[in-house]
Structure 1
Amino acid sequence: MLRATLPTVATGDLTDLALHDAAGGRVLVVGDGNFSFTRAFLRANAARVASGAIALTATSLDTHAELLRMYPSAAAALAELAAGGASVAHGVDATRLSEWRRPDETSRAFDRVVFNFPHFAAGGAKRNKIHRHRQLLCEFFASAAAVLARDGLVFVTLCAGQGGTPCDPKPRAPGDTWQVVQCAADAGLVLRDVHRCPVETLAALGYLSVGYKLRERGFWTPDSVTHVFGREAVGVPAPFPIEWTRAISFWTHEGFTEAKVAAILRASFPAPMTLRYELTDTYTCPQTGRASVTYAFTVACAYSALSKARVNARALAALRRIESSGFASSRAA
């Protein structure tokens, strides 16, 4: 079961995308397969799309001919979208959105970007490695961030167990998930909300997911989870901050104290980042008598996109400061 309450801002669900005010917004849907999600969203917001309050654009990676060959049911959805005032574009790569020449000839940013059930599908029925799915997510988030408005949101829906957040209804070991929050952090995006996808409501509006093994077969959508991401914002915490654990080892010299190490670590990972550390190993060289220590530390932050690269860079800088402090030196020396 998903947690009943989450410490997040209100972001709406896939039927409204939190576009509640009169200003509406610009919505981009990518990778929609048979375009039935975009049609469902149009049906739920028909008056606002027709009036122009919501500018709705849907894209597919496939060309129009490829789309109809794989998903014959898409023809009816495309006709309804055109009649309802939505824009459609084919041959659009969701991982290269900044290169896309848009139908409206504008470069205005989008207020919402939606990608439901993204997956690396090369090879058709071939079982794909998790790292391929993660790579797709990383590339998509970087692409979406490039066309996202300052206060925009990115909605990504995954099957149960794939996302890897603590509220996933089918928990898996972290290494067996797609690590969606970490992938988004690489693009500077922070998790804002997590909620169950309104599958029944969308189905009643005509949504049917397709694309499983590149066929007109749907994914297993019950208990699927929608993850909502936004840019870093002052004072807005993420419901599930990313935690990273790293270890550093070095030779100790006269003047070494744990307090000095802690001071360097805290300076390297300042507030609002949180830091925990502990001494995990000591070693004395039998030949030289030199002593070394190993510290493990865990870093988290609810207010920033704490990516693996950012943590690694700060950890390396901290180790270099320790090694040049006079009370320690590199184990590599």
Structure 2
Amino acid sequence: MVPRRLLLVGEGNFSFTASLIDTLDPGISITATCLQHPADLEGDPVTQENLQRLRERGVEVRFGVDCTQLPRTLQAHERDFDRIYFNFPHCGRKAGVAKNRELLAKFFQSCADILTKEGEVHVALCRGQGGTPADKPQREWHNSWQVVAMAALGGFILSDVYPFSCETVPGYKCTGYRSQAKSFHIEGAVNHVFTQSSPLEGCQPRAFRVRLGDRCFSCTEPEALAGKLNRRFLEASSCHPVKTINEKLIAELGKHFPLRRLKCSLPLLSQGGTSVLPPGTCDPVSAFWISLHEDKSHSESLTGEKTEEMEGILSFSECALPKSLGRDGCRAAQEGICEQAELRLRSSLLAHVDTVIQSPDFRPGSLHVLSGPVFRKCHILPFRMPAFHETLFILGLNKNSKDGCLASLLNHLKGSLNNLLTETLLEGSSLSASVEFVLQPNGKDHIIHVKSLNFGPDCTEHLIIGNIITSTGVTHEHQCFVFVSINLDLLAMLVYDISDWRILWTFDNRFLKRFAPGKVERFKSYSLYPPCYVHDISFWLDKKKGFDELEFHTVARAVSQGTVISIQFLGRFQHPETEQVSLCYRLTYQACDKALSPQLAAAMQSRFRREIQRQLHVSPR
């Protein structure tokens, strides 16, 4: 964005403003401010010379402006700045890191009310003060000004960082060392560019209206999936990277096999399973459950909240509903009884294979393609996702020609995946990714491994991006079936060099603006060096209730709105007298696209303690 109005705060001798005006378009409005009053600056000839120059150029100059109270200083019609500069802030004299952190925190909170929605805040700090990896060398976190964490208190994220160079503003002379007219060393100084993020508290579970047959039901997405349902990333109009990867993969395989693309149904399933696949393929234990309430209002949910339409191509038949919501339910509805049922969100598209292969339109030898979102409870780990997009390839084969066709499919699939994974590699880059099909103990199924160096040494050596399952149909004596399941989100991360899966689900428009439709290029994050906050928790177990660690992770994901990135088991203790068992865990909080402050992380931890006590029946220590 080209700035129209600039605000400079904390100007000591106004030399930065005087130098900056020569580098800007004459049409840009500039307001330069300082904390001192005119009488305090009368004895400095350099400052007076700069002030004279600014007045001649029409720059507005203000004195006695406290950078922590900007909304009070500026009238409503004077706000809406596109860019705010604060060079080398300091409380003065021998103020320590704690006071300077407080100064930064209040400054960012002050900026939030006078900056445009897409505006920027530029803060230059001396070497090491910021506490980010951009500092060379980087100070210890506790000994830095923690600029990113302080900015989060005002709702800002660090979107860019680069060395501060006096050469770009010739004539600039820094002053103010220990509240004196002396200059200070700015070698290795860093300029930090902050932008506003969407509020973290705004991502709450949404209400939906679902049409099943000729009836309407309302439901609310699970708290652990807030913002994940009905996002429509795979629609034709989408330019989401997951959609791009899906289309490229399908197009590659379409060069070698006849394709039949199927439209995906709603992600709601009844309790029935699938008979074609081996037991446990679609594990109901890790499923999210949705409560459906019959909705006769067609406009509002039972709680009075506005609802969104959860769109699906295929509607459920009456037999897909539990008996309590079948046609007999109409009598209860007429008597004023509100119908309710529990349906689960599918954990894999493999749950639909029976419907596909038993359809009269199923064609052996053709590659049937089904794409859509899936949801499953999982432990909090870097590459485990409670929601992701899956593409399922279904191929029906004659048993006599199975081996040759299967080998052909595997070869073309490996080639297509390898082509995608090398598309964004820089010329001469040492980074690489390779696909490997690992045969399973049953001798017929495979796991699709990708060995990638793109994510650095902390990444697991092999990432599982899919499965290949072969199965003999119960009702198809002379046929067998091959099901290839691909995790599109994980594949997109590898191709675009996206290190955090959560960014794929952001509501921030800046994410999609980084991608051109159908084009693959490396992703550059707009939220750099987000800080981590570590909190420990220990609790006594209820002997009668037991402890479900998967639910423990799910509650943490829900309460933290997805900001818990790691849960580490620290230890187990058993009281020698009561024999009561206590567990201790360490939670790490970090946001990938929003401003997460230390205070907000602490508040989430407090709520987490309450929620595990309520939902898991444990007693926090």
TM band (smaller chain): 0.7 to 0.9
- Determine the C-alpha separation between the residues in 2 that align with 1:201 and 1:305: 30
**Counterpart check, 1:164 vs 2:131:** yes
- Determine the C-alpha separation between the residues in 1 that align with 2:33 and 2:599: 31
Partner of 1:278: 568
Pair 160,243 (structure 1): closer, same or farther in 2 beyond 3 Å: same
**Counterpart check, 1:59 vs 2:348:** no
Determine which of 20, 24, 29 is the counterpart of 2:8. 29
Between 1:261-270 and 1:301-310, the stretch displaced more is 261-270
1:184-195 matches, cutoff 5 A: 184-195=151-162
Q: 1:283 touches 1:291 (CA, 8 Å); kept in 2? A: yes
Q: 2:552 touches 2:616 (CA, 8 Å); kept in 1? A: no
Q: 2:556 touches 2:564 (CA, 8 Å); kept in 1? A: no
- Aligned to 2:112, the other structure's residue is in SS state helix
Structure 1, residues 111-141: CA drift from partner, whole Å, max 9, x if none? 11100000011xx4xx222101101111111
- Determine the C-alpha separation between the residues in 2 that align with 1:179 and 1:189: 13
**Counterpart check, 1:177 vs 2:144:** yes
Aligned pair count reads 295
Pair 191,101 (structure 1): closer, same or farther in 2 beyond 3 Å: closer
Deviation at 1:101, TM superposition (A): 4.3
1:1-333 matches, cutoff 5 A: 19=2, 24-45=3-24, 48-49=25-26, 53-69=27-43, 71-101=44-74, 106-121=77-92, 124=93, 127-202=94-169, 205-232=170-197, 234=508, 235-236=510-511, 237-253=526-542, 254-271=545-562, 273=563, 275-331=565-621
Cα RMSD (Å): 1.6
Rg larger in 1 or in 2? Answer: 2
Pair 142,245 (structure 1): closer, same or farther in 2 beyond 3 Å: same
Deviation at 1:255, TM superposition (A): 1.9
Deviation at 1:325, TM superposition (A): 2.4
Letter in 1 for 2:88: F
- Determine the C-alpha separation between the residues in 2 that align with 1:287 and 1:325: 27
Deviation at 1:81, TM superposition (A): 0.5
Deviation at 1:263, TM superposition (A): 1.3
Q: TM-score, normalised by structure 1?
A: 0.85
Q: TM-score, normalised by structure 2?
A: 0.46
Pair 326,189 (structure 1): closer, same or farther in 2 beyond 3 Å: closer
Pair 209,230 (structure 1): closer, same or farther in 2 beyond 3 Å: same
Letter in 2 for 1:141: F
- Determine the C-alpha separation between the residues in 2 that align with 1:250 and 1:194: 42
Q: 2:555 touches 2:611 (CA, 8 Å); kept in 1? A: yes
Pair 201,108 (structure 1): closer, same or farther in 2 beyond 3 Å: closer
> Relative contact order: is structure 1 or structure 2 higher (C-alpha 8 Å, sep ≥ 6)?
1
- Aligned to 2:21, the other structure's residue is in SS state helix
- Aligned to 1:242, the other structure's residue is in SS state coil
- Determine the C-alpha separation between the residues in 1 that align with 2:534 and 2:570: 13
Letter in 1 for 2:156: L
- Determine the C-alpha separation between the residues in 2 that align with 1:110 and 1:291: 57
In structure 2, runs of 5+ residues without a counterpart are 199-507, 512-525
